[in-house]
Amino acid sequence: MDNVGVVVDDLDAATAFFVELGMEVEGKGPAEGEWVDKCVGLDGVRVDVVMMRTPDGHGRLELTRFRSPEVLGGEPNAPANTLGLRRIMFAVDDIDDTVARLRAHGAELVGEVTQYEDSYRLCYLRGPAGIIVSLGEQLG
């Protein structure tokens, strides 16, 4: 897998959110033209894109804000059992600290921070554009 794409309405806020998770901006800029239109199957596409990279360099996240055509509204609070891409998971060293830092960027817990046996502490947060970001802290 090369990357996961997320359409957002506030590119700066979404970028800050994922930087807080430890991701780094790899590149950013506009995209438009016939090649984009043909690729995504829409006419008159004009977007701003920020490509983010995980600290280990193996994962990437593409944040996209459409300037045109107009963004279609989705269900920003869709529950975890809704069809389609539902979450992105990140391994963290300290889940409580990470949750606190992400709350400063508007994230809200979907449920609670829970523990799976003696292996992991886990939670789901609602992040930019309503996406679910899962955090996992390995124990021991």
Question: What are 60's strand-pairing partners?
Answer: 53
How far is it, in rounded angstroms, from Cα 8 to Cα 123? 22
User: Where do the structural domains in the chain lie, given as residue ranges?
Assistant: 4-68, 87-138
- Of 20-29, 80-89, 131-140, which gets the smallest average pLDDT? 80-89
Contact criterion met (CB below 8 Å) for 69 and 45: yes
* pTM of the shown model: 0.91
pLDDT at 126: 94
The pLDDT of 25-50, averaged and rounded, is 96
- Residue identified by tokens 């800050």 is 16
pLDDT confidence tier of residue 85, bands split at 50, 70 and 90: confident
User: What tokens appear for 37 in the block?
Assistant: 């239109």
How far is it, in rounded angstroms, from Cα 107 to Cα 103? 5
How far is it, in rounded angstroms, from Cα 129 to Cα 116? 28
**DSSP 8-state class, residue 15:** H
**Topology of domain 87-138, per CATH?**
2,3-Dihydroxybiphenyl 1,2-Dioxygenase; domain 1 (3.10.180)
pLDDT in tens, 8-18: 999 999 999 99
The pLDDT of 110-124, averaged and rounded, is 96
**Topology of domain 4-68, per CATH?**
2,3-Dihydroxybiphenyl 1,2-Dioxygenase; domain 1 (3.10.180)
pLDDT at 75: 80
